[in-house]
Structure 1
Amino acid sequence: MDTEADTCRKDVVPKLVEAGWDTSPCAINEQRTFTDGRIVFVGGKARRGRQKRADFILRYRSDFPVAVVEAKAKYKHAADGLQQAREYAEILGLKFAYSTNGREIFEVDYTTGIEREISSYPSPEELWLRLAASENLDDKIKGHLLSPTYPDKSKPLRYYQEIAVNRAVQAILRERKRVLLTLCTGAGKTSVAFQICWKLWNSAWSAKSKNRRPKILFLADRNVLVDDPKDKDFSVFGDARFKITGGEISKGRDIYFAIYQAIAGNETRDGIYKDYAKDFFDLIIVDECHRGSAREDGNWREILEWFDQAYQIGMTATPKREDNADTYSYFGDPIYEYSLAQGISDGFLAPYRVHRIISDFDAAGWRPTKGELDRYGREIPDSEYGTRDFERVVAVRSRTEAFAAHLTAFMAQTDRFAKTIVFCVNQEHALEMRNALARLNADLMKEYPDYVCRVTSDEGDIGAGHRSNFQDIDNRTPVILTTSHLLTTGVDAPTCKNIVLARVVGSMSEFKQIIGRGTRLRPDYGKLAFNIIDYTGTATEKFADPAFDGDPIRELEETIDENGEIVAETDVTEDADTNGEEVHTGPVDIIDGVLPVDGEPYAPRKYYYDGGSVEIIRQLVYELDPDGKKLACRHLTEYTGDKVRTLYPNASELRKDWLDPVRRAEILERLEEKGIDAEALGESVGKPEADPFDLLCHLAYNAPLRTRRERAERLRKDEVDFFAEHGTEAREVLDALIEKYAEHGAAQFTLPDVLEIPPFNGWGNVVEIAARFGGGKAMREAVNELQKRLYNA
C-alpha cells in the first residue's frame, strides 16, 4: 500500500517539476520543518514537542515563499490534507495552498477565496501574477521586493521573521509612509530590521530617486539599543554606518544610528537633527517605539515630524493597549504580529514558571507604632503602608533582607550560578538589595568578587562592563545583577534563568519587556526555561489581564519562614488568591515634585525603617502548560484526566485505539505533547504497579484501578484457548512476555529487543525463538494478538 512518502516521491515532485518548480530560484522545499517544537516538561524533564512540518513549501525566490502543498496516501481523498494545508498556509502567510493524494489536486486561492479541484499545479509565474494582481505589485515593486536577504547560515530567518521582512518591504514599496511591526521580546526584531534595510539598500531603493542607495536612520532611546545592532547585526554594512553622538554629524554615510537624546533639543540648544534636511532620510526605523516616541506630547515626537517625508517603521513588543494607544494611532495597525504565546508554542522562546512570594508586610500592610523613629531619628507618619509604598515612601530594610534570603535559598536549591536580574524600586533599593545578597553569598563573593553587582545609571561605564559580562554566555560572573529600570530593555542575555521583581511594575508594556529578558533559549547552555520570582504581586496582576498573551499554568503554594526556608507545600485552586487574604498595597503618598532618577520617580520625603522582622509567608508557583493556557491549579491526576477526556470522550474509544500497538504509540506521543509521560505516570502519582491504560481510564473516567499483575492473571485465566493455539515452546515465550509485563510494563513487548535478555536469550537467538512460532511474521502476529487480548481482559 502506498504511503504519503510514496505520494510525494512518485507523484507530487514530478508534477511540480513539470510545472516549472524544480530549479532555483523557483525552489521546492520538501519536508520543510518551520517550528522548533514547543518545550514541554514531561516527568520533570524538558522535551521538545512535535515540530510543524510542511510536505512542500514552494518558493518563487529563495526567500519569498508563495505556496504550501500537503500530500496524502493514494487510498485517501485528495482533500483530506486541505485543513492542514490551510493551517500551514495561514501560519506561513501564504496565499496558495494545495492538498493532493497524487492523483487529484485541490487548490485554495486566498487571493480570490476560491477552492477548487485542478488537474495540474500552476507554474511559478502564474502564481506570481495572481499574487501581484491581488496586491498591486508592479514590475518596479517586484525588483526591490524580491531582492535577496543577507545570507546568514548561522542565523537563518525564522518563518515569522521572513513574513515580517517581506510585508514591511512590500508596505514601503506600496508607499505606506508609516508601518508598525509588533514582535514579542525575544523574537529577533533587530534581525528583522537589519534584513529590511539590507533588501532596500542592496536593491538601491530610494524614496527620492532611482538607483540611489537609501539613507536610513535607526532610532532608539538607549545607547545599548543602538550600539548592539550597529556593532553586530548591521556590521556587514561596514563603513556605510555612522552613529550620531557627541554633537558630531556626518552626511556621507548610508546607515545612521542615534538615540533621541543625542539629537533632540533642550532648553539651551536646538536639536542637531535639524542639521539634516527634512528629506535627508529615506527610511527611519524606530526601535521600541512604544516608549514615547509616538506620543503627541512626547519629547521626541518632533524628530519624527521633522523627517515626516521619510518612510517610518515602528517596532514594538507590546500589542495595542490603553497605555500605548498613541503608538498605534501614529503608526497605524501592525502589518504583522507575533506574540509571546506563539513564540513559546513554536518552541522559539522559553516557557516559564512564576513564583509569587508574599511577605507578611505585603499581605497585611505595615503600620508604625506611635512615635516610631526612622534611621535618621525622624518620626514616621502614622499610616498603613503597603507594597506600593515600600522603598518609595518608607524603606524597610528587613523586607529587602527577607527577599534576599529567599532568593539566595531558591538559587541554592536550583542553581547558584543561574544568571539572575533583580528589578528594584530605585537605585538606592538596588544597592540595598545588592549588599544584602552579597552578605548572604559571602562564600561565593570571596571567590568571585563580581558574583552580585548593581547595574544602574550611577555605575556608568563600570555598570556597563558588568552588564556586558553578564550577557556574555562564556563569562560565569556576574551571576546576579540588581537594577531598577536600566535593564528593562536592550539586554540580550540568553542564559538568564531568573527574573526577579522586587518592585511593582504598573505598565503592561514594561512588564512584557522585563519578562523578555528571560525568553531567549540556549539549550546548549542548559537554558530551556526560566523563572519569574515575584515579590510584589505584579506578575499575578498582569497574568490575570486578558490582554496578556502566554498565561502561566500551575499554582503550588509554598509556606516559607523568615529565613527563606520552605516549610510546607500544597496545591491551590485556579481562583485562589492569597488564601482569602487581600494583598494590601496601601496608599501611595507621593505628593511633592517628581524627579527622574534612572528613569524612575522618587519621593523627596522618604523614611528608613531598620527595625522589626519580615517573614515570607506564602509562595504560589505558576507554570505554562503545553497548550500555553492557564491550568486550573489541580493535581497532576486532575490535569491528566482532563487531557485524556479531551482526546477520548469515553473509555471504550480509548480502549479501541489502545488495542492497536501503532495507535497506542500515537496516543502516548500525543499525551507527551501535553506534558504527560504515561509510562512514568504511575510513579508520579504513587501508583507504580498500575498499567498506564488502567491509570488513564481511572483518572479520566473513574474506572476501577488494577495492577499489571491483576491484568496479567486475568489474561491467563480468560484466554486459555488463545494460549492453546500455540505449541509448548511458543507458549513458554508468551508466558514469559506476560510475566515481564507484570513486573515492568508494556515496553517489554518490544520485539526483537526483549528477546536479547533473560530468559529469552537462553532459548537461542531471535531466529531460533521465532521458529517456535513458525517464523518472524507469525511471532509478531502472536505478540500483537497477545497485547490486544491483554487489554480486553
Structure 2
Amino acid sequence: MCLKYSEQDTRAKFIDPQLKQDEWDEDFIIREYFFTAGRKLSGNRRGKQLYVDYLLKYNNTPLAIIEAKRYDKEPTHGLQQAIDYAQKLKVDTVFSTNGKKIYEFSLTTGRGKFIDNYPTPQSLYNSKFSTNKNLKAELHKIPFYLTGSMKPRYYQDIAVREVMDAIADNQQRILLTLATGTGKTFIAFQITYKLFTARWNVDGVHRRPRILFLADRNILADQAINTFNPLEKDLIKINGDEIRSRNGQVPTNANVFFAIYQAIAEKENIGGYYRQYPPDFFDLIIIDECHRGAANENGSWRDILTYFSSAVHLGLTATPKRSDNIDTYNYFGKPVYEYSLKDGINDGFLTPYKVKRIRTNIDEYIPTKDDIIISGEIEDKIYNLSDFEKKIVVEDRTELIAQGILANIQEMDKTIIFCVNQSHALMMRDAINKYKNVSDPHYCVRITSDEGDIGKTLLEKFQDNDKDIPTILTSSQMLTTGVDAKSVKNVVLVRVINSIVEFKQIVGRGTRVIEGKDFFTIIDFTGATNLFYDDAWDGLPEAPPEMIVIKDEDDIEPIPNSPIEKPVDEEEEPDYAETDVDFQIEETSKKEKIVVKLKNGRNLKITDVEVRYVGDDGRPLTVSEFLDKLTLFLPNLFNSEEQLRELWSKPETRDELLAKLGQLGFDSEQLGTLKEMFEAEQSDIFDLLAFLSYNKNIISRVQRADATRAHAEFFNGYENQKAQEFLYFILERYKKDGIEELKRDKLSELIQLNGLGTTNDAAKVFGNVDNLITAFYRLQEVMYKAVS
C-alpha cells in the first residue's frame, strides 16, 4: 500500500529520525535554508528566493544538502535542481530522499548511488578535507564576528572559507574576485578576525598575526577601518600624521595596520617608509582593488609586495579577467572564488540596471566657416566623441547633454555624472545648474581633487541616504571607486570609456541595494555601454545591439547662444595621488584646447533614446532578445486568446499573471518600455500580450472604453441611473490611468471619488454589496470582450 504522506510528514516521520540516528545533531542542520534574496522587481517586490530543504553543516562548514520528496515520489525526483544549488553553495554532496530510500550524489566524482545511512558529520567532513586538517578545522570552528541580526550571505561565507583553506594549504598568493557592492571589506574583516582569533601566523608560533590592509585611496582605507572597528584596540593607520608624531618612525604597536600605498612607498629623494619594517614583519597583506597596480611589475605596490614577500598576499578585486588586467591574475593565480555582477543581481543582493543610450546630432563635429573659433587651432577633420573635451570644447554641446540628463532622470534621484576631466566636470556642473528647476545651490556639485575639503564634505552629504542634497555629482576619476552611496539611481557617462575594468567599477556605483530602489539607470552618451558585449563581461561575447528608437526629444528647446568664458588649460586624466590626502591630485597642463562657438541658429537636439534591460546573463537585452524571451515564456502562462481574456478580466487572476511575468523578468517597468517600443503607451498591457501571442490589433484604452460604452444591454441592466453613471465613471478612470483603476482594492476609493458616499451607500444604489461587486467584475469582463 502506498502511504500518502505529505513532504512535511515525510521529513518529520522519516528524514529527521534518520539524521538523528546518524549523529546529525540539531546544531548541524538548517531546514529550509534560503540563500538568495530574490531578484529585485519593480514596486518594491522580489523574485523567487532559492532555498534547499536541508543544509548540513559541521565545524561551521556546509557539507551537504538534502532534497526531500514526498513518501510516494521517486527519491531522485528534483535531483538536478539540488545539484545546481549545491554547485552554487560550493557543497560537494547531495542527498535526495523520499524517506524510504536515500540517494547520494558526489559533485566531485559526478557519480551517485543508493545508501542505507547518511555519513556521520565527522566522516563527511574528513572526506572533504584531506590535507592540513587540523589547521582547517581550527579556522573553521571560529564563527564569524556578527552583531545583532547580522548574517553573512552565502557567497561571503564561501569566500572566507576558501581563503581559510588556501592559507591552511600554505598558498602564498590568493585572489578573491567579487562584484562591487557585495561586501569585500566585510569578507576581509572576517578573514582577519578568524586568523586573529586562531593566532595564526606564517612562523607557525602561537602569536597573533600582523596584518597590513593596503589600499590606494584614503576613502577606501577609512571605510575599511570602520568595518574593522571591533578590533580597534589592535589597529592603526600608517599615515603622515602618525609617522610625524613618532619622530619619523613607523608604528609597530598593533596587529592590524592600514595604509594607502602612496603614504609608505618610495618618493623622489625619500625612501619608502615601508622599509622601516623588517621584511618578515607582516604575516598577511590584504590588497584592496588589487587590479590597480599591485601586480604591475613597475608599480609601487609591487615594490612593497616584493619587500614583504614572506607574507601571504591576498588580493581583492571586482574587475574581470582580460588583457589589460592579466598581470593581476599572473601574480595571484586563479581566483579561489568568484562572485559576479550578474550573480549578485540575479540573487537579489545587487540592484538591476537598465541602459538609456542617448544620441545627439552633434556626436561628431565638422568645422564650418560660420562657426567661431574662440581659441586654439582647428583642423579640417571630423572630431568624434573621443575628441570632445580633450581636443575640442563645444559649450553648446555640453549644455545640450545637461538638458538631456535632466530630461531623463527624476528630479531628486541621486545621480553621478562621469566626465572627461576636471574642467569638463566643472562645465557640466554649471550647465546642470543653468537648466535645473531646484533652487538649492548644492543641488549639483563637482567632486574632484580640486574641490579639497569642501568636496569631501559634499561627498559625505551625498552618501547620506537621509539627505536629498547634493542630488547630482559631476566628477572625472575621483568617484570610480570608493563611493558607497546606496541611493544612487543614475550613473551618467559623458566620457568615452575603453577600459572594461574602469567601466565595471563605474557601473558598481549604482548596484547597492536600498529600500525603494528597484533598479538604477546607466545613461550613456558615448557608447560606453557597448562594453557589456565585450567577451570579458559576464559571459560569451556577442554583437552590439540593434538600435531601438524609443522617443524623439524634439521638445528640448534649442540652446540659446551664450558667451564662452576664457578657456582653461587641458587636464590629464588624474593619477591617484602619491600622498595620503586623496583631494590633492595635481593635473598637468597640455597645449591649448580648441574652443568653438557654433553659428547662430544651429538647432542641436537629442535624436533618440534607446532603452535596454539587463538579462539573466548580465548583459542588456537587444530588442530581438527582449521580445524572444517574452514570447518564449508567454505560452507557459496562457494557452489561448480566450484564456488570456479570461485571466485579464478578473482583478485577482490579472494580478497573478502580472506577478508571473515579473518573476520572469518582465515587470511593469519593462512592460512599459515594451509598450513604448510598439508606440502603445496609451494601450493596455493586455493588447500588447494579445498582439505578441495572437497578432491581434493593438487598440488604445480610449477605444476599449468607448467600445464598452456601446454595450447598452449591459448598462441598461442597471435601472438606477447612479449605478450606470458609476460604471461609466470607472471607464473614464481607466481611460486616464489604466488597469490600476480596475483593482479590487480600488473599488472603495472609486466610490468616494464618484461622490456616491460610502461603500454602504453605493451598495444601496446597486441593491446590495454583492450586486455592487458583481457589477465591478462584470464590467471588466465586458471590457475585454468588447473588442475581439
Which TM class, normalised by the smaller chain length?
0.7 to 0.9
Q: Please say if residues 421 and 571 of structure 2, whose CA atoms lie closer than 8 Å, have aligned partners that are also in contact.
A: no
Equivalent position of 2:449 in the other structure: 457
Contact 1:36-1:346 at 8 Å conserved across structures: yes
Correspondence for 1:715 = none
The correspondence for 1:674, drawn from 643, 659, 664, is 664
Match for residue 617 of structure 1 among 607, 614, 634: 607
Mapping for residues 371-450 of structure 1, pairs under 5 Å? 372-375=372-375, 378-411=376-409, 414=410, 416-441=411-436, 443-445=437-439, 448-450=440-442
Aligned length: 685
Q: How does 1:69-108 map to 2 (within 5 A)?
A: 69-108=66-105
Residue 47 (structure 1) aligns with: 45
Is the 1:641–1:701 Cα contact (8 Å) retained in structure 2?
no
Alignment match, 1:632: 622
* 584, 593, 611: which one aligns with 1:606: 593
Match of 1:226, as an amino acid? A
Asked if 1:239 is matched to 2:237, the reply is no
The CA deviation string for residues 79-110 of structure 1, in whole angstroms up to 9 with x for no partner, is: 00211211111100111111111111111123
In the alignment, which residue of structure 2 is the partner of 1:160? 155
Contact 2:184 2:316 in 1 (8 A): yes
1:750-772 per-residue CA deviation (whole Å, 9 max, x = no partner) reads xxxxxx9989x98999xxxxxxx
Match for residue 534 of structure 2 among 535, 545, 553: 545
Q: Which residue identity lines up with residue 606 of structure 1 in the other structure? A: K
Tell me the secondary structure at the aligned position of residue 174 of structure 2. strand
Q: Which runs of 5+ in 2 are unaligned?
A: 244-248, 559-568, 577-584, 708-733, 745-759, 771-784
Aligned-partner residue type, residue 314 of structure 1: G
The alpha-carbon distance between structure 1 residues 562 and 360, as it changes in their structure 2 partners (threshold 3 A), is: farther
CA shift, 1:72, in A, is: 1.1
Counterpart check, 1:365 vs 2:365: yes
Contact 1:218 1:255 in 2 (8 A): yes
Q: Equivalents in 2 of 1:689, 1:170: separation in Å?
A: 58
* CA distance 1:219–1:555, shift in 2 (3 Å): farther
Q: Answer yes or no: is 1:500 the counterpart of 2:508.
A: no
| Cα-to-partner distance string for 1:216-272 (whole Å, 9 max, x where unaligned) | 000011111101110x21000012111110045211100000111001002211111
Q: Counterparts in 2 of 1:335-374, with a 5 A limit?
A: 335-362=336-363, 364-369=364-369, 372-374=372-374
- Over aligned residue pairs, what C-alpha RMSD do you find? 4.3
Q: Deviations over 1:279-308 (max 9, x none)?
A: 100000001000112111223211110011
Measured after TM superposition, the shift of residue 326 of structure 1 is 0.4
**Which residues of 2 match residues 172-251 of structure 1 at below 5 A?**
172-230=167-225, 232-246=226-240, 247=243, 249-251=250-252
Asked if residue 559 in structure 1 is aligned to residue 552 in structure 2, the reply is yes
TM-score by length of 2: 0.78
Cα shift at 1:644: 2.3
Q: Indicate conservation of the 8 Å contact 1:395/1:607, yes or no.
A: yes
Cα separation, 1, equivalents of 2:385 and 2:476: 16
Normalised to the residue count of structure 1, the TM-score between the two structures is 0.77
Contact 1:627–1:674 under 8 Å retained in 2: no
- Structure 1 match to 2:519: 529
**What are the Cα deviations for residues 605-656 of structure 1, in whole angstroms up to 9, with x where unaligned?**
31222444543222212112467554331598765323225x489869x99x
TM-aligned CA deviation for residue 366 of structure 1:
2.9
How many Å separate the matches in 2 of 1:459 and 1:626?
40
Deviations 1:448-501 (A, max 9, x none): 332111111111111111111111111221111111100100110000111111
Cα distance between partner residues in 1 of 2:662 and 2:619: 16
* Contact kept in structure 1, 2:342 and 2:617, CA below 8 Å: no
Contact 1:556 1:622 in 2 (8 A): no
Distance 1:687 1:302, change over 3 A: closer
Distance change (3 Å), C-alpha of 1:12 and 1:53: same
Q: Percent identity?
A: 40
* Secondary structure class of the residue paired with 2:300: coil
Residue of structure 1 equivalent to 2:286 = 285
CA separation of 1:704 and 1:557: change in aligned 2, threshold 3 A:
closer
C-alpha contact 1:40 1:625 (8 A) present in aligned 2? no
2:55 equivalent in structure 1: 57
Query: 1:713 is matched with which residue?
Result: none
Tell me the amino acid that sits aligned with residue 292 of structure 1: G
> Which residue in 1 is equivalent to 2:718?
none
Q: 1:609 is aligned with what amino acid?
A: V
Match in the other structure for 2:465:
473
Cα 1:549–1:140 change in 2 (3 A) is closer
SS in 2 for 1:80: coil
The structure-2 alpha-carbon separation of the partners of 1:67 and 1:427, relative to structure 1 and needing over 3 Å to count, comes to: same
Residues 746, 498 of structure 1: alpha-carbon distance in 2 compared, 3 angstrom cutoff: closer
**Do the aligned partners of residues 144 and 393 (structure 1) sit closer, same or farther apart at CA in structure 2, a change above 3 Å counting?**
same
Measure, in 2, the Cα distance between the counterparts of 1:433 and 1:478.
Answer: 15
> 1: distance between equivalents of 2:697 and 2:79?
41
- Identify unmatched segments of 5+ residues in structure 1: 566-589, 711-742, 749-755, 766-789
Q: Please tell me whether the aligned partners of residues 415 and 471 of structure 2 are also in contact (alpha carbons under 8 angstroms).
A: yes
Matches within 5 A, 1:640-789: 640-645=630-635, 647=636, 670-676=660-666, 699-700=692-693
Residue 8 (structure 1) aligned with residue 11 (structure 2): yes
CA distance in 2, matches of 1:601, 1:701: 63
Q: Distance in 1 between matches of 2:370 and 2:767?
A: 86
Using a 3 Å threshold, how does the CA distance of structure 1 residues 594 and 417 change in structure 2: closer, same or farther? Answer: closer
Q: Distance in 1 between matches of 2:426 and 2:742?
A: 58
How far apart are the structure 2 equivalents of 1:455 and 1:176? Answer: 41
- CA–CA distance in structure 2, aligned partners of residues 704 and 374 of structure 1: 56
DSSP-derived class of the 1:187 partner: coil
Q: Secondary structure at the match of 1:10?
A: helix
Q: Distance in 1 between matches of 2:743 and 2:19?
A: 43
**1:240-319 alignment runs, 5 A limit:** 240-246=234-240, 247=243, 249-319=250-320
Q: Could you say if the C-alpha distance between residues 116 and 763 of structure 1 is closer, same or farther in structure 2, counting changes exceeding 3 Å?
A: farther
Contact 2:477/2:573, CA 8 A, preserved across alignment = no
